[in-house]
Amino acid sequence: MVSANMLARQAIYTSTHEVYGFELFYRNDDDFIDVFNRNMNGICDFTATSELLANLCTCALEENLNGKGLLFIKLDEAFITSDMFFPDQAHNIVFEILDSVPPTTDVLNAISIMHKKGFKFALDEYAFEASKAPFIPFVSFLKINTLAVSLETIKEGVNRLENASMTLLGYNVEKGSCFDSCYEMGFHLFQGYYLESPIMIQGKKISTNRQTALRLMATLCKEDVSVDEVAEVVSSDPRIIYKILKLINCPLYPFKREIVNIKEAIVMLGLETIRQWTLTLLLSSESEQPQELFRTLLVRAKTCELYAENITNVRKSDYFTLGIFSGIEAILGIELNVLLSEIKLALPTRTLLVNQLNNDDSLLNIVKAVERDDIRKFSQLPEQMLPQIKACFSQGIKWADELMEQLV
């Protein structure tokens, strides 16, 4: 069985928030880090690229990345000029030239050969330096770090590239306002967590359909919700009935016979599991955001729930709800305080949510740090905590991918 840590990914979106492709990161079993940027424990860029390509091309990966758009992979100078094997699937791979790579004759010759074979290239961490000009004829994408380069400098640089044919890719786009600025400057692709930080409109009116969904969610989140109440919520929407029955009869739950009604599903899986599924499906049906964001929240929720097994005197289900609600603003486009006024969460769950959101050292924020590969946060954790969370996160990725296959 291949470890889920062999590859990690971050989505790259179009301006309409559709998934365009993924940047792939190397992961090994010892370090849940982006070694291209860190060079920790003796793992060099060359080794990272070699193992990543080997994992991508030759391993029976748990997740099938084929058909999911372009795959962006970083290359260093040593790899570019080596005689290493390159994969055949040139049509869906973009090689990112690291900012540390100099435009030497050997490097440019190697890139030219690969370019003629159909491989696409991107300039990583491009800051409009004149020294990078020799790469431009071979480059299809300019990847600009919006945290490292000011928006004013980006605007000036983009104006100088007015007639260029490269696609501009904004990296580390963390806020909706940054997305808007980059879009106005002509960026077409975006990478970062801005979808989790949309611009909220004060006093935004909640649509009738969404009000209905919130009422149903409020019922599900009651501390003493009954089997009949959950069954009634599920039965209120034919889409949810269909998907619940589809989920319970999928390979995730290998029952010996087909489950054909909701009451039976509750008996077979338990009230808490069906409550979680229904809450998840309600949010999914009401969200206008891309599925990749929803997948991120499912991974987060499952990771929190799995890790909660190590915590005494807590309900695991509260931690699943915590993970989902931590991104509910982005899913529904409604401020959290408005949502909490509409949804009367059980007091323990509400207290957990507020405390975890407002505590930098909370489990929720540590899981978010794992998502963002925040090595500064990792260094502050107890020795045994990171491996445990990493294991839960890997299980969460696999679980969420299997679930999303059933939901779409």
25-67 residue pLDDT tens: 755 544 444 434 444 343 445 555 555 555 554 443 344 454 5
Domain boundary among 196, 229, 259: 196
**What is the reported pLDDT for 64?**
44
Same domain, 171 and 276: no
Which tens digits make up the pLDDT trace of 90-145?
Answer: 678 899 999 989 999 999 999 998 898 888 999 999 999 999 999 999 999 999 99
Q: What pLDDT, on the 0 to 100 scale, is given for residue 29? A: 45
> What whole-number distance in Å separates Cα of residue 245 and Cα of residue 240?
8
CATH number assigned to the domain comprising residue 176? 3.20.20.450
Q: Do 190 and 212 reside in the same domain of the chain?
A: no
Binning pLDDT at 50, 70 and 90, where does residue 5 land?
A: very low
Of 63-67, 149-153, 323-327, least confident by mean pLDDT is 63-67
| DSSP designation for 176 | H
Residues ≥6 apart with Cβ < 8 Å to 379: none
Residue 188 and residue 290 in one domain: no
128 and 230 assigned to the same domain: no
Would the pLDDT of 296 be above 90? no
* Shared-domain flag, residues 182 and 214: no
What pLDDT does residue 48 have?
55
Residues 244 and 179 in one domain: no
pLDDT at 189: 96
Cα distance between residue 110 and residue 100, in whole Å = 16
Q: What is the CATH number for 251?
A: 1.10.3210.10
Q: What is the pLDDT of residues 122-135, one digit of tens each?
A: 999 999 999 999 99
Rounded distance between C-alpha atoms, residue 316 and residue 293, angstroms:
23
**21 contacts 406 by C-beta, under 8 angstroms:** no
- Quickly count helices (H) and strands (E) in the chain: 19, 8
192 and 215 part of one domain: no
Task: Flag whether pLDDT at 156 surpasses 90.
Answer: yes
Q: Output 269 or 307, whichever has higher pLDDT.
A: 307
356 and 219: one domain?
yes
Q: Which long-range contacts (CB under 8 A, 24 or more apart) does 303-312 make?
A: 303/367, 303/370, 303/389, 303/392, 303/393, 303/395, 303/396, 304/363, 304/364, 304/367, 306/392, 306/395, 306/396, 307/363, 307/367, 307/388, 307/389, 307/392, 308/363, 310/388
202 in a domain, yes or no?
no
Residue 320 belongs to what domain range? 208-407
Query: Which band of pLDDT confidence, cut at 50, 70 and 90, is reported for residue 198?
Result: low
Q: Examine the fold and report which residue of 136, 171, 196 is the final residue of a domain before the chain moves on.
A: 196
